Each structure stands twice: as structure tokens, then as C-alpha cells.
């Protein structure tokens, strides 16, 4: 007998029970509790031994239920992104744990995509794009057709929830960490306001962090421009002797560029300038010095979004209804130290932040 030929009747005979009990056990039916644990164990053992493979096509045809999650994603913008690669890995992992597959769909023609999703009998949708109009239109159509929808990153829309990192808390935590190391002149490398919600949130969190410790923001050292690389180069060239002792950046990519500029000018990192980024990417560990960075829990964003859309988990709620936020974590490596001090021992930081001079 081939594995594809194993039926519920075969399993019932092997487990010395009836087909109804086998069906309920393998489907984890609501009435499965009426079957003794001993019988359920025999059924599962027999199914494994015989190599039973569930016929998902037949099941979906009979019930109208498809164990597939639709991931609507902006292919052009996100397909090669380090950030979204981690998120997608997280959602694939969690979907597999729940016996769900993930099928990707484009976001350029929302009506066509939703039509195809409905044609595939998919009832769960994750949306990954910063396009506000596309987000709203997707929410309108999902609400009309009764489709479960969760936004991955960004904000909730039309009553549908979103999962994200707490970007405001991330920037506040970064400032606090640098301040407690002894820094009082802290700059920020950002991006154009309004481009993405995380850009604005990290900027706001940075300002809040400074205000908490009574530090006046130095506007000349808060870069919020689309061409960040050019702005960094000009700033370092013109103010080489008056630079802050530390910089926080909303992205590890920007920190790498700033690190290169500082080293070319003969400055030492972290002795002259400490650098702290966001993302905790693999290249951050490979740089010299290795970059301290905020782990933004990208893998967890993906897994949490799946739990939310399937209703299998209770993620932490945020400051507004429908917004679920994950707490970032500082990963301390070699690019941060107290002012005037060199490289120390890398470690992780959760809730406790080291004071100035604490071994790291």
C-alpha cells in the first residue's frame, strides 16, 4: 500500500476503532474530547506508522475551508529587503506550526488580488505594504467579503488590526542607554518625515528620550532628509571638531555608512563617537567595529501576525485599539561606549541599562 493510498478506514482497522473516531482525532474536532486519550494515541500512532497524508484538496472541496494564508506584499519594494525577509520567515514558521501554507499575492491591483484570493477560498489575509490607499482599499474589500485581515507593520485601518515593533519605545530606549553611558550630546540619523510611520515614530521617541533627561535636541545633528548619505557626508566634513559623542540611527544601513565616513576622517568608534543602529542585521555583526543595534523583533512580528489572523494567540496590545506592539531589545557590541572610552565586551540588554563605566 502506498502512502497516498492510506485511508481513514485503514487507520481505523489498525487502531481497532471506527472511522468516525479517526476522522475526529485527525481533524482535532470539537468532539474529540469524547474519545478516550488511549484511543486517540492509538489512532495517531497508526496514522504515523502507515504514513497517512491528509488530502487537503479533497478536504477543502468538501468543507470550503482552505488552510492557506494570503500574504499581500509589494513585490518591487520588499522582495529583497532584509527587514521583510525576516518577517516573512517568521510568518511562514508560525503558519507551518498551525498546518497552514502561505501564498503570496501582489498589491498593485487590489481588486484583482482580492478576487483571486476569494477564488482560492482563502479566508485569512496578511497585508505588508506602506501604501495607505492600498491598505484602505484592501480593508474595505475584506470587510465587505468577511475576510480576516491583519496589517503587518504600519497602523490599523478600518477596524482591522496591525502588528509592529514599538518604534517610539525603541528610540527612547536607545537614548536612555546612551545617556546612562555618559553621553549628553547625541545626534540622530533619520529620514524624510512622513515617508513611513516608523520613521516618524523613531524620531518622536528620540526627542522624547532627550526631553526625559533634560537634553536640548541639537537640530544640526538630527538628519531627516531623503538623501541621508549626502547629508552625513556634509555634516562630518563641515563639523568634524564639533560632532556629538554619540549617534542613534533608525537603520543599521545608515550606521554602516556613517562608520565608514568617520573612519576615513581618522576618528575612532566608539572612543570619539559611539554609534547605535536599528535592525540587528547579520552585517552589523561583521562590521569593524561590530555595531550595537536594536533588535526590532522582525521574526516575531511575522509569527504574531499569523497568530492574530488565525486567532491562536493573545499578543500584547499597544497604545491604540487594534495596534499590537512588540518590545525591542538593545544588542550591545563594539560601537558604543562611554565618552572617550574604547571597545568593551559585547552583551545583550533587556530592561536593565548599564550605567556609565559598567562592564559590558
Task: Read off the pLDDT of each residue in 227-245 and give the average, rounded to a whole number.
Answer: 80
Q: pLDDT by residue (tens digit) across 137-177? A: 999 999 999 999 999 988 999 999 999 999 999 999 999 99
**What per-residue confidence (pLDDT) applies to 240?**
65
CA dist., res. 126 & res. 124, Å (int):
7
Cβ 129 vs Cβ 72: under 8 Å: yes
Q: Which residue has the higher pLDDT, 88 or 238?
A: 88
CA atoms lying within 13 Å on the CB side of residue 259: 26
pLDDT of 229 over the 50 cut: yes
CA dist., res. 118 & res. 151, Å (int):
18
pLDDT of 287 over the 80 cut: yes
**Residues β-bridged to residue 278:** 294
Judge residue 187's burial from the number of C-beta atoms within 10 Å of its C-beta, 0-12 exposed, 13-18 middle, 19 or more buried: buried
CA dist., res. 124 & res. 305, Å (int):
11
pLDDT of 337 over the 90 cut: yes
Task: Read off the pLDDT of each residue in 261-279 and give the average, rounded to a whole number.
Answer: 93
Radius of gyration of the chain (CA): 26
**What per-residue confidence (pLDDT) applies to 56?**
54
Q: Determine phi and psi for 223, rounding to 5 degrees.
A: -90, 115
CA angle (92, 96, 98) in 5-degree steps: 125
Task: List the domains of the chain with CATH numbers.
Answer: 3-54 (1.10.260.40), 63-160 (3.40.50.2300), 167-295+328-349 (3.40.50.2300)
User: What pTM does this model have?
Assistant: 0.77
Angle between helices 197-212 and 167-180 (to 10 degrees): 40
pLDDT band (50, 70, 90) for residue 353: very low
pLDDT band (50, 70, 90) for residue 63: low
Alpha helices (runs of H) in 108-182, residue ranges in sequence order: 110-119, 132-145, 167-180
Distance of CA 267 to the CA centre of its chain: 34
Assigned C-alpha cell, 46: 497508526
Q: Coil, strand or helix: which one is 2?
A: coil
User: Burial code of 97-107, b = ≥16 C-beta within 10 A, e = fewer?
Assistant: eeebebeebeb
- Of 163-167, 193-197, 323-327, the one with minimum mean pLDDT is 193-197
Of 177, 228, 181, 174, the C-alpha closest to 205 is: 174
Amino acid at each position: 500500500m502506498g502512502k497516498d493510498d492510506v485511508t481513514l478506514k485503514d487507520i481505523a482497522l489498525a487502531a481497532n476503532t471506527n472511522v468516525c473516531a479517526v476522522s475526529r482525532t485527525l481533524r482535532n474536532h470539537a468532539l474529540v474530547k469524547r474519545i478516550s486519550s488511549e484511543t486517540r494515541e492509538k489512532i495517531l500512532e497508526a496514522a504515523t506508522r502507515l504514513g497517512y497524508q491528509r488530502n487537503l484538496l479533497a478536504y477543502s472541496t468538501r468543507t470550503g475551508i482552505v488552510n492557506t494564508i494570503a500574504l499581500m506584499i509589494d513585490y518591487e519594494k520588499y522582495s529583497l529587503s532584509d527587514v521583510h525577509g525576516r518577517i516573512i520567515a517568521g510568518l511562514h514558521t508560525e503558519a507551518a506550526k498551525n498546518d497552514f501554507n502561505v501564498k503570496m499575492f501582489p498589491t498593485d491591483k487590489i481588486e484583482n488580488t482580492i478576487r483571486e484570493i476569494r477564488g482560492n477560498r482563502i479566508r485569512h489575509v496578511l497585508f505588508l505594504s506602506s501604501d495607505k490607499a492600498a491598505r484602505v482599499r484592501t480593508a474595505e474589500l475584506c470587510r465587505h467579503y468577511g475576510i480576516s485581515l491583519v496589517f503587518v507593520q504600519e497602523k490599523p485601518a478600518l477596524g482591522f488590526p496591525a502588528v509592529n515593533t514599538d518604534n517610539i519605545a525603541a528610540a527612547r530606549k536607545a537614548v536612555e542607554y546612551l545617556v546612562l553611558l555618559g553621553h549628553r550630546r547625541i545626534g540622530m540619523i533619520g529620514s524624510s518625515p512622513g515617508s513611513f510611520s516608523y520613521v516618524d515614530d523613531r524620531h518622536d521617541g528620540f526627542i522624547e528620550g532627550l526631553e526625559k533627561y533634560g537634553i536640548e535636541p541639537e537640530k544640526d545633528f538630527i538628519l531627516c532628509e531623503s538623501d541621508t548619505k549626502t547629508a552625513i557626508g556634509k555634516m562630518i566634513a563641515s563639523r568634524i571638531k564639533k560632532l556629538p559623542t554619540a549617534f542613534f540611527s533608525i537603520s543599521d544601513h545608515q550606521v554602516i555608512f556613517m562608520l565608514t565616513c568617520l573612519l576615513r576622517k581618522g576618528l575612532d568608534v566608539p572612543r570619539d563617537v559611539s554609534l547605535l543602529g536599528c535592525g540587528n542585521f547579520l552585517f552589523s555583526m561583521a562590521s569593524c567595529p561590530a555595531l550595537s543595534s536594536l533588535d526590532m523583533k522582525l521574526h516575531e512580528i511575522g509569527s504574531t501576525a499569523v497568530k492574530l489572523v488565525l486567532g491562536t494567540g493573545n499578543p500584547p496590545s499597544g497604545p491604540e485599539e487594534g495596534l499590537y506592539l512588540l518590545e525591542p531589545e538593545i544588542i550591545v557590541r563594539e560601537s558604543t561606549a562611554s565618552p572617550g572610552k574604547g571597545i568593551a565586551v559585547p552583551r545583550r540588554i533587556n530592561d536593565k541599562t548599564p550605567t556609565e563605566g559598567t562592564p559590558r
